[in-house]
Chains A and B, each alone.
Chain A
Amino acid sequence: MRLTPMVLGIGVLLATAVMAPASAEVDEAARAARWANLRSQIFGDRALQDGAGVLTIEAPDRAEDAALVPVKIGIAGELRRDIAQLYFVIDDNPSPLAGRFAFGPAADPSAIAIRVRVDDYTNLHAVAETKDGRLYAVARFIKAAGGCSAPAGKDQALAMQRLGQMKMTMKGSPRLGEPLEAHLLVSHPNNSGMQMDQVTRNYVPADFVRTIRLRYNDRPLLTMESDISISEDPSLTFAFVPSVPSGAIEAAVEDSSNRHFERSWPVKVEPGT
């Protein structure tokens, strides 16, 4: 996959940018220039069409907590049928490309919800790529969190102690052929490796979830390639379509330290439905 190294590559390319002093007022022109730079790094010179009407970003106006901002990307109309993958970019984060989501045949690509870190006042971009290679983009501005909020986690010991545990919740009862929303949680500190220890001047080692692969009944459902912009304990809300009376969802998670975690959950359709 040519995109895999790019997800991490962007973090490396922009690593120097985050070390520059944050300015309180970044004007529109600077934001536009930053996006122009990012989109050419991610999509080259491919055309981006306006995704208004088929693509939406739901997020609070202000990041309440820099460590955890719930974001939902909605996909509507014909794009639901045509979409192959979705990119989510947090322009002013240290590693802007927060996630790439590839939908498989078992997915219902109507929405994805994740939890992200937001370091600064920034634009958010969602870009959908169709199976025939068209790109649709939408943007939304979000204000930075204030006060003592920080992008790091709140209970470091617990995050390590619970490392790799997973939890899956399904909303409602599975019915054949009807989209079902599910929520996956993976316990992981998701350390960015960009936090400098002010005392030792060393960096806290990077340790984050790199890939979550979901399959339903041995068919690809959704693959999320992610990075340090995802909150501690990565969370992924998605939908799929149960197609057999008794099946299973399998999750395979790989992190930047090459740990692997796997788990599966039965999906039983209620008799008579």
Chain B
Amino acid sequence: MVEIAPGIYVHAGAPEQANPGNDDAIANIGFIIGDDAVMVIDPGGSAVEGEQLHAAVRAVTGRPIRYVVLTHVHPDHIFGAVAFRADHPEFIGHARLPGALAQRGDYYVKTLSRDLGAAASGSEIVAPTHLVAAEEAIDRGNRVVDIRAHGPAHTDNDLTLFDRRTATLWLSDLLFVERIPVIDGSIVGWIKEIGAMTHVAAQRAVPGHGPAIVDWPAAAEPELRYLNTVLAGTRAAIRQDIDIAEAPRHVALDERDKWLLFDDCHARNVTAAYKELEWE
């Protein structure tokens, strides 16, 4: 856990897929301490990681945990929520998060148990209690955090946050650094949403995967390059009648040595882009 700016703590996740050795602690998670209350931003990928995060909060402050933000539906960000239930916080999510949880929650419970084995025990889906449809400012005592609900991008239920006191932009999985981005919403939408965020004047940003802290907006460049390369390459494949099964072997292969876990995720990114773009 590192304090990346006054009162903002981040734990950088391992650049790995979920496995029994990492307790699904693969995403960047953390918390912001206000004068009256603590806001947790992503409780982590398992009950075990959630409990560790809870202990990390308690190691630096006794202030109540009033907010737990679930930045999107992915398991590595949300399964730790159960560890914060006893604090009775508001669980904050995108207005489309309940729908995504309904569609995927049951499956994610099963796959977490498949991927982590015994380490998944206790992990469960926690429902958001407070939904954000557009933008909302939350004040935790002289500390206002602006929460923004995005259009379909990384997923169709992404939230980002901006801490006014330190001008810190918490992008969660709208920004991947070093680890290959995962397209699970809309490639066209993601380029648009992250492009808009590059105009936010921030001192620093927190990506969902990669280092705990990065320069902003410089850190968006590799991701934007990757997404634009996949976009152009997939459109070309569709024009050339290369079918969806073949396309991953043709598109954006020059990105291969630029990302961690490329072989795990690139093919599915191209497939997802193809499925979206073939309707254009």
Contacts and interface: CB of A to CB of B under 8 A. Distances in A.
Given A154-B272, A195-B102, A199-B98, A146 B264 contact: yes
B156 A198 contact: no
B52 interface: no
Given A147-B18, A154-B184, A185-B278, A70 B103 contact: no
Nearest to B270: A64
A120 B117 CA distance: 15
Nearest to A183: B243
B167 interface: no
Contacts of B271: 64-65, 68, 70
A181 to B, nearest CB: 9
Interface residues of B, number: 49
Given A148-B182, A149-B268, A233 B275 contact: yes
Contacts of A185: 278-279
Contacts of B182: 147-148
B248 interface: yes
A156 B106 CA distance: 17
Interface string B99-124: 11111111111110111010000001
Contacts of B244: 68, 70, 115, 235
B264 A198 contact: no
A153 B156 CA distance: 10
Contacts of B103: 150, 152-153, 156, 191, 195, 204
Interface in A60-107: 60, 64-66, 68, 70, 72
Given A185-B279, A197-B101, A148 B75 contact: yes
B137 interface: no
A185 B280 CA distance: 12
A199 B125 contact: yes
Interface string A134-148: 000000000011111
B105 A196 contact: yes
A147 B113 contact: no
B193 to A, nearest CB: 13
B268 A152 contact: no
B28 interface: no
A233 to B, nearest CB: 7
B163 interface: no
Which of B75, B101, B155, B268 has its CB near the most chain A CB atoms (within 10 A)? B268
A171 interface: yes
A150 B127 contact: no
A21 to B, nearest CB: 7
Helix, strand, loop or mixed for chain A's interface?
A: loop
A154 B265 CA distance: 15
A87 B156 CA distance: 34
B61 interface: no
A115 B243 CA distance: 12
B114 A24 contact: yes
A108 interface: no
B152 A154 contact: yes
A113 B268 contact: no
Given A64-B271, A158-B152, A199-B127, A152 B265 contact: no
Contacts of B127: 198-199
Contacts of A153: 103
B54 interface: no
A152 B272 contact: no
Interface string B246-270: 0010000000000000001101100
Nearest to A203: B102
Nearest to B246: A70
A237 interface: yes
B11 interface: no
Nearest to A64: B268
Nearest to B187: A154
B96 interface: yes
Nearest to A233: B275
Contacts of A147: 17-18, 182, 264-265
B245 A58 contact: yes
A187 B267 CA distance: 22
A171 B26 CA distance: 43
A154 B155 contact: yes
A149 B124 CA distance: 17
Interface in B204-225: none
A183 B243 CA distance: 10
Interface of B: 17-18, 74-76, 96, 98-111, 113-115, 117, 124-125, 127, 152, 155-156, 182, 184-186, 241, 243-245, 248, 264-265, 267-268, 271-272, 275-276, 278-279
9 contacts: A21-B113, A64-B248, A113-B243, A146-B264, A148-B74, A148-B182, A154-B184, A157-B152, A162-B279
